[in-house]
Amino acid sequence: MTGACSGIGRAVSVELARNGCGLLLTGFEAEELARLEVELKPFAASLATKAADLADARERMALVGWLRDQSTPPDILINNAGIGGRFGSFAASEMADMEKVVALNVLGFLHLTHELIPLLRTRPEGCIVNISSGIGRLPYPGLAVYGATKAFISSFSESLACELSGTRIRVMCFHPGFTSTGFMARSAMDMRRVPRFLVHSPERVAQRLVKALRAGSRWVYSDVLTGLSARLGILIPHRLRVRLFKNLFWELPDEH
Ligand SMILES: NC(=O)c1ccc[n+]([C@@H]2O[C@H](COP(=O)([O-])OP(=O)(O)OC[C@H]3O[C@@H](n4cnc5c(N)ncnc54)[C@H](OP(=O)(O)O)[C@@H]3O)[C@@H](O)[C@H]2O)c1
């Protein structure tokens, strides 16, 4: 599990530990990861952690080496780590900020998945869980690059699922809706126009994910409304979709 220290990743780790799973957890913040290890040790069947900056290729390879050295290799890879970057128009965004988003959400994600498929193949059954977003196939003004990385994850997951169908490795693409984690605060998004009923707790999202994992699902939305809006959103004409999404939830800070 990547991005285990906070938000959705932390809640999924807790949920899996409570279900008696063995866990190999990685996160960016070493101290936070150590605290999580202490918290989950009494529940999990087994537990080991290793901090890594997944935006850095060398740290990714060190993590892969650590995973290869485990007595029991992982049978599920949960690609959860992801950042949004700074909320604002694409034109006003810093290139360095957008590069960080792509480095983690796309390059880190691809590299880890590529390195772990041979390891998953050694297991009786393997699963790759990719965390996309309910908005992954819809416009995301203000976080256009982030939105595009999530579209990438969804598209890539579908192609990989085709390539791996008929093998012992299943691919599940999970699309969370708005979730109350530090993600939005870090992006400095104004969430006041997002109706409360659309925002879910990370615990609820984690329960849905673990249930879908057990059910053998492959394409999952965290809740009914997220699934409905994602499916309806791509059906409406492009011109209407652009008008609707321009100011649906938020205004760009640099438009004033
Ligand atoms: N919150 C939402 O509304 C929402 C909606 C749809 C999809 N998602 C997706 O859900 C996933 C989890 O997000 P979240 O909401 O739980 O946000 P979060 O609390 O900010 O979690 C992001 C996770 O990514 C990790 N991370 C960040 N930079 C990293 C790096 N360089 N190397 C390794 N790990 C790094 C963080 O680790 P540390 O904690 O150690 O820094 C953290 O555990 C993301 O992929 C996000 O795109 C979120």
- Find the mean pLDDT for residues 101-115: 98
Position 255 confidence tier, pLDDT thresholds 50, 70, 90 = low
pLDDT for position 92:
95
Domain boundaries, the chain: 7-255
Per-residue pLDDT of 89-100, as tens digits, reads 999 999 999 999
Concatenated DSSP letters of 6-75: SHHHHHHHHHHHHTT-EEEEEES-HHHHHHHHHHHTTTSSEEEEEE--TTSHHHHHHHHHHHHTSSS--S
**Which among 14, 15, 28 is the best mutation to test ligand 1's pocket, defined by most ligand atoms within 8 Å of the CB?**
28
33 neighbors 25 (Cβ within 8 angstroms): yes
pLDDT for position 150:
98
Position 179 confidence tier, pLDDT thresholds 50, 70, 90 = very high
- Look up residue 195 and give its DSSP letter: -
* pLDDT exceeds cutoff 60 at 256: no
Residue nearest to atom 43 of ligand 1 (CA): 3
**Which among 102, 107, 183 is the best mutation to test ligand 1's pocket, defined by most ligand atoms within 8 Å of the CB?**
183
User: So which residues are the catalytic ones?
Assistant: 146
* Secondary structure class of 179 (helix, strand, coil): strand
User: Is the full-model pTM beyond 0.85?
Assistant: yes
End-to-end alpha carbon distance in the chain:
41
pLDDT for position 192:
80
Position 50 confidence tier, pLDDT thresholds 50, 70, 90 = very high
C-alpha span between 131 and 224 (Å, rounded): 17
pLDDT for position 247:
80
* pLDDT exceeds cutoff 90 at 193: no
- Look up residue 253 and give its DSSP letter: G
Per the CATH hierarchy, to which homologous superfamily does domain 7-255 belong?
NAD(P)-binding Rossmann-like Domain (3.40.50.720)
Beta bridge partners of 171: 128
Per-residue pLDDT of 220-235, as tens digits, reads 999 999 999 999 999 9
- Find the mean pLDDT for residues 19-26: 96
Ramachandran angles phi, psi of 101, nearest 5°: -65, -45
Determine whether 123 is exposed, middle or buried from the number of CB atoms within 10 Å of its CB (0-12, 13-18, 19+): middle
